[in-house]
Amino acid sequence: MSLFNVCSWWSAQCSDPGEEYDVASLLCARFGLEAQEKDYIIVGSQTGQLSIYYPHRRGYDATDLLLETQMVAPILGLYAGKFSGNVRNENANQLGVLLPNAIVIYNVLAIGGLAEHGAQLRLQLQAEHKFQRVAFGLCQGHFGQVKGREFFCVVHLDGTLTFYEQDGISYECRFPGYRALPAPVAYCERTDSFFRFSATWDLQCYSYQDLSHSLVTKSSYQPTWTQCVGEGIVDMRVVQVKENCSYIMILGERNFISLDDNGKFNFMLKLDYAPKCFHSFVVGYYWEPGARLITAIVSDSSKLHLYEEANIIWAAQWPRQSPAPVAIQRSNVQGLAGGIVTLGAKGQLEVGYLGADPFQFQVQPLNMEELSFAQAHKELQQLEDEIKEAVDVRDMDALNQQAADQVRLSFSIQPEACDDLDTLLLDVPADVAVKELPSAKGLLRCKIKAELAELQLAFQMPNGIRCSQDTLSFVDVAAGSSHEFKLDFYIAELLHVHSFKVELVASFVSPRGIPRVIQQSAHLPLSMFYRPCQPQKAAGIKLTYSITSRHVIPKLSTFFGEFLEEHSDAHALGLQLLCPGLEKQSEVITVVAAKNSNRIRIQSDYVETFAMILERIVERTLQLDSSAGLIKMEKKKPKKGVLNRCVERLMAAPFIPAQPILHRIDVHHETQQSIRKQTEQLEDLWQQFKSLQRQLQEQSEGEPKEALTMQIESNYDQLILEGDKLVEIRRDERKQRCDLNCAVALAKWIIHALNLEERVVNVVSSVLSVPIEDWTELSWEESMAPGIDMLHHFGPLTRSKSTSTHGLLDANASSKDSFDYSRFRRHFATLFDRIVRLASTPAAINTAEVTAQPAAEEKPPPQEQQLQQQVDEIGNMQRMLGDKGLPLAPPKRRTNMSSSLEAVEDDEEYDEDDLREDVGYRKDYGATDEEKNPANTKKRSEWVNEDFELPTTEELFSDLGIWW
């Protein structure tokens, strides 16, 4: 903070309190209305509000406001000068108001007040000049070094200059160059020159004679001199300091620059703050030897810096100005000479002065008490506990429980769909509202136990589903408060939905700045997306699930209670997908429950119909089994050799419909390629359109423009047409992305219930994540390629243990700069094939048979049961060790009896990209050929696993720097 403050002498609030003021909205001038006249303060807003103030004494008085009127258009600038020669009083000035399409010249007339009422002002229209182009700014001066009158020049948005003289003569000219951007233009009376800041950050000087003769002679002209400033400017002013020299004062974005009127740098001062506005003036008369050049610069932190040329002489702070003023002037008001007039962005008008009294700041006395180490240690311990509470994430269960106690949520969705949705109130699109699709109602209760600084509740739903209140935000939530919200979930787009799960994410920040996140979920009713129909006998895709849990009755009414009664004995159920509700085809899925077994078959011709049905079967089975008291599916680190715990409840047949899934990927990839080609074509058309515009601007007035205009119109029509095509392609791409979501979710739910090792299921499920995302520079296929490639070469599904993979990642990165879709597709298909083969191994079949034993089977005697348990344990140990276990039967041909992380050999040939050797470290697991060949024992790598154990995830990827 500054040691000194800017003392307030007079202040007022303008009539427009919005942020409608800028650097051109303030003017301090005299109009010659009386003999001992002081400066008037004129303020114009961008909403057209014009106000004139005349302060009489310290403190604002109602009589200080002499005029307040509303203009017909926004006010771009205010100017005072001798703009008219038809005025009797030679000392009188006129007021010029710059509007977007006109410049209006007014005579300011005074009206005397009666009794205690103060005087008033009235504006008399003197002249009005309308423009054909939109104005940007105005520059005034004695152009041509005329005496007794002033001309003005209007700068337009296209860079054109329009000169106006008092006798009505007006003409236009353009600056040379390809592109004349609107920029401030300043006039120097001593050299009769104009200074203009170009688009290349150059300060250019043009003589008035060249500009005025350019339209008549049609000749080209060049700037008198050019200086590179090297940065954008905030404002520019010309001040005559000496009789033979004028200074050009430039306030840049980071520097304060001064040049003389011949283009020579006087100084360049680097600023350590962001400037907002400035004002330069001369103390004394320029022909006197003691004249001083003073500049006042306002920073964005509401500080005033005064410079005498390049040396700072004073700094002060506005105590009540926040944000910083946008305009500053120096004025001689009645009772205060040399006052500082500032205008804020919201119309805070203030007249102040630089007081000599310093800011009363007292240094706090030092605490000379003796240091107590015990007290300091206690305080340090408290601080460490607070820091540990905020950043220690080792005990996540305790942190989650603490967050759940602070914010208690209850989120539920009614299991029945309803048809009373108000489509007009919720702004449902017409194509969706006409189908009269069902909706669901939800309820959210929130109870706050601790004080919170911020709280946000957000709902995450699949594409096409919308909530009546997507996001709820609260600030400064008091402890003990509670809220209840009634929600409506409805279909907003005709897209395929891959999940009926709705997640509630509650994120909050404590007063000490500690963030926490809580998640809850609920499920939408299936009747919102399906309706019963006639079952189909045949279908192209057939899936089979076996219910292996004793606590789940394998009946259709157990899983689809919305469509069947509780005690219904129906063995077949047909469901038709309501969304998107295609007219040409009916997307029907059939669920059949076996009469004499615990199997359920799901069949359909469409991949998009499976995802939500499989999700319902898996989620309902796990829910019923967990509520019955079976082993909970806790998220713990999987151990070696542990099979997927989901098969203890239900198990899927080892079949994945790879071709339909790959077809959805192909369609999505082709659409992405079409989007990129269409975007490139639009970019070419846009560049051509800009080039034609530039050619049209560079043409002179006499050249024909019809042919070029026709080309521009044709190019514009083609640009609009191709843009509409891109919008249509992106709409199709959104639909195909939802179809691909359903296909990937189908594969994920099948793999979730396969008889595989749990680590295999976790790794593959983490790669096959939904919903899929496409970015501007990276498609879903390109983002998925590294993960699929990892599974293909390094992951638990690698094809061969003997493949050398040292540095394969670096080799791929260096040899392939572009994305190879054929390779990605081949690896994706191979991934599904290996998963199916791994789930179809004999060990998996035996495990399935043992798990699927009926509950009513008689238990063997205790001795036989104990012997059988020992045999099972030995068999499991043999399957885990693979090579070292003792055989339970006469040894035969060795087969892969494990559904573990060991590789599954493929019959197909290797790719050329896979045959890379001798790069990086890789551990070898299991028996190797070196045992059979003692001669190679010396060359054996130190990374070989001597215990022949299955590798952990950390061992697999630690040497490669890969995190799974």
Amino acid in the structure at residue 261: D
Asked whether the predicted pLDDT for residue 848 surpasses 60, the reply is: no
Distance CA 767, CA 788 (A): 7
Asked whether the predicted pLDDT for residue 850 surpasses 80, the reply is: no
pLDDT at 762: 87
The more confidently predicted of residues 604 and 882 is 604
The more confidently predicted of residues 568 and 612 is 612
Mean pLDDT for the stretch of residues 821-838: 90
Q: Are 913 and 952 within one domain?
A: no
The more confidently predicted of residues 208 and 948 is 208
3-class SS of residue 530: strand
890 band by pLDDT with thresholds 50, 70 and 90: very low
Q: Are 589 and 677 within one domain?
A: no
pLDDT at 214: 65
Q: What is the pLDDT of residues 58-112, one digit of tens each?
A: 888 888 888 999 999 999 999 998 887 666 667 788 899 999 999 999 988 888 7
Q: Are 117 and 89 within one domain?
A: yes
User: Mean pLDDT of all residues in the chain?
Assistant: 79
Distance CA 126, CA 97 (A): 12
Question: Which residue's entry shows tokens 């011949």?
Answer: 262
Strand partners for 153: 139, 163
- Give domain status of residue 163, yes or no: yes
Q: How far is CA 894 from CA 672, 845, 897, 950, in A?
A: 48, 17, 9, 18
Residue 771: asked if its preceding bond is cis (omega within 30°), the reply is: yes
pLDDT at 849: 45
- Give domain status of residue 377, yes or no: no
Q: Is residue 418 a contact partner of residue 525, using CB atoms and an 8 Å limit?
A: no
Of residues 444, 445, 428, the one with CA closest to residue 436:
428
Q: Are 493 and 610 within one domain?
A: no
Strand partners for 275: 299
| Range scoring the smallest mean pLDDT among 71-80, 444-453, 694-703, 780-789 | 694-703
Q: Are 885 and 939 within one domain?
A: no
Count of structural domains within the chain: 5
Token code pair at residue 172: 């236009």
Strand partners for 237: 249
CATH code for the domain in which residue 559 is found: 3.30.310
Q: What is the pLDDT of residues 126-167, one digit of tens each?
A: 888 888 889 999 998 888 888 878 888 998 888 888 888 766
Q: Is residue 465 a contact partner of residue 524, using CB atoms and an 8 Å limit?
A: yes
Question: Which residue's entry shows tokens 């105005």?
Answer: 138
pTM of the model: 0.54
- Give domain status of residue 703, yes or no: no
Asked whether the predicted pLDDT for residue 922 surpasses 70, the reply is: no
Q: What is the pLDDT of residues 620-643, one digit of tens each?
A: 988 888 876 654 555 555 555 677
Distance CA 664, CA 107 (A): 75
Token code pair at residue 819: 């994305």
Q: Are 16 and 59 within one domain?
A: yes
The more confidently predicted of residues 427 and 379 is 379
Q: Are 688 and 748 within one domain?
A: yes
Residue ending a domain, choose from 582, 609, 635: 635
Q: Are 889 and 939 within one domain?
A: no
Print the domain residue range for 804.
673-697+708-922
Question: How many percent of the chain have pLDDT more than 90?
Answer: 32
Q: What is the pLDDT of residues 528-556, one digit of tens each?
A: 999 999 998 888 999 999 998 888 888 88
Q: Provide the terminal-to-terminal Cα distance of the chain, rounded to the nearest Å.
A: 51
Strand order in the sheet with 348-354: 6-13, 348-354, 336-343, 327-333
| Range scoring the smallest mean pLDDT among 285-299, 837-851, 941-955 | 941-955
Q: Are 195 and 304 within one domain?
A: yes
Q: How many CB atoms lie within 10 A of CB 668?
A: 21
Q: Are 588 and 717 within one domain?
A: no
Q: Is residue 291 a contact partner of residue 285, using CB atoms and an 8 Å limit?
A: yes
Mean pLDDT for the stretch of residues 276-292: 86
Q: Are 748 and 822 within one domain?
A: yes
Of residues 326, 350, 330, 348, the one with CA closest to residue 339:
330
Residue ending a domain, choose from 635, 656, 686: 635
- Give domain status of residue 371, yes or no: no
Residue ending a domain, choose from 526, 545, 580: 526
Distance CA 43, CA 916 (A): 77
Half-sphere CA count of 241, side-chain side, radius 13 A: 21
Of residues 586, 599, 577, the one with CA closest to residue 526:
577
Residue 325: asked if its preceding bond is cis (omega within 30°), the reply is: no
- Give domain status of residue 392, yes or no: no
- Sign of the alpha-carbon dihedral angle for 635, 639, 640, 646: negative
Q: Is residue 238 a contact partner of residue 140, using CB atoms and an 8 Å limit?
A: no
Token code pair at residue 16: 């427009």
Under DSSP, the state recorded for 82 is -
H helices then E strands: how many in the chain?
Answer: 15, 42
Amino acid in the structure at residue 301: S
- Give domain status of residue 655, yes or no: no
Q: Are 691 and 626 within one domain?
A: no
Q: What is the pLDDT of residues 788-800, one digit of tens each?
A: 888 877 656 665 5
Distance CA 477, CA 511 (A): 10
- Give domain status of residue 92, yes or no: yes
The more confidently predicted of residues 859 and 323 is 323
CATH code for the domain in which residue 102 is found: 2.130.10.10
- Give domain status of residue 376, yes or no: no
Mean pLDDT for the stretch of residues 466-493: 91
Secondary structure of 158-195 as H, E, C letters: CCCEEEECCCCCEEEECCCCCCCCCCCEEEECCCCEEE
